Amino acid sequence: MAQSQTDKIDTQNALVIESLEVDFSGFKAVDGFKLKVDDGELRVILGANGAGKTTLMDLISGKTKSTAGSVSLNGVDITNWEEHKIARAGIGRKFQIPSVFKELSVLQNLLIGESSDYSVFSNIMRSVNKGYSNRIAEIISLIELEHRLNEPASNLSHGETQWLEIGMLLVQDPHIILLDEPTAGMTAQETLKTADIINRLKGQHTLIVVEHDMGFVRAIAETITVMHLGQWLAEGSVSEIEKDPKVIEAYLGSGGIGHA
């Protein structure tokens, strides 16, 4: 069991998780997990498949309700709030499988992401009548889909679809962005570009990236928190994590942390 965290919540902490658990009929997928993420920080949650990473994202975003512990956003306890309320409070999440409107254009998808009116028709009309904001222009440049704006999203490659969904998340301007294995299924070239996009977002948002690809982690990581069997195992820089005896022992059977 990870040690409990008793430190007072600092105003610089964007997200604080204390002794968080979820029990599925006797199986603790997340077991006493702790985490503090500073405002504007990029934090990587690293662990093998089955470590509890996605379940942790489910607990933070409200998709799954915890059975113990707490989650605080900017000093406000949001434990077990409904998903939509957590999203409105400033936590945005990108899932492993991208969810875009494939029949609509790239631009129309971004406009839907930006608008508080989720009527598809009204957003299509807005795209025809009003153009798009400077914010969307910046995001289009970031995800480098300028040449695909008027094409249906169904024409995009897997990597381009992932970048579009990141763009749709960014236009909502969440305070904290949760990215769950953002490079899953990508080519090596697409993975490099995704690392570049994430690195360019550092400091603009608080980013929590769940990943098991150590090569990608090395390209983006500042601080890594390692999960193992639902528990907090270790925390530190890439070099510290790779040398940590607890991490080496936990991942020895899978060939070390580099294969996690």
pLDDT of residue 8: 40
pLDDT tens, residue by residue, 107-159: 999 988 776 554 555 555 555 445 677 888 999 999 999 999 999 999 999 99
Q: What is the largest CA-CA distance in the chain?
A: 60
Chain Cα centroid distance, residue 44: 9
The answer to whether 254 and 214 have CB atoms below 8 angstroms apart is no
The pLDDT-based confidence of 49 (bands split at 50, 70, 90) is confident
Give the C-alpha separation, 38 to 15, whole Å: 7
pLDDT tens, residue by residue, 69-96: 999 999 999 999 999 999 999 999 987 6
Give the C-alpha separation, 4 to 7, whole Å: 9
Scan for tokens 């690392």, then name that residue: 195
pLDDT of residue 192: 94
Q: Which helix (H) or strand (E) holds 94?
A: strand 91-94
The pTM (predicted TM-score) of the whole model is 0.85
**Domains defined along the chain, listed by start:** 1-90+202-260 (3.40.50.300), 93-173 (no CATH)
Give the C-alpha separation, 204 to 133, whole Å: 18
pLDDT tens, residue by residue, 212-226: 888 899 999 999 999
pLDDT of residue 213: 83
Nearest to 159 by CA among 98, 220, 227, 206: 98
Q: Which helix (H) or strand (E) holds 34?
A: strand 27-38
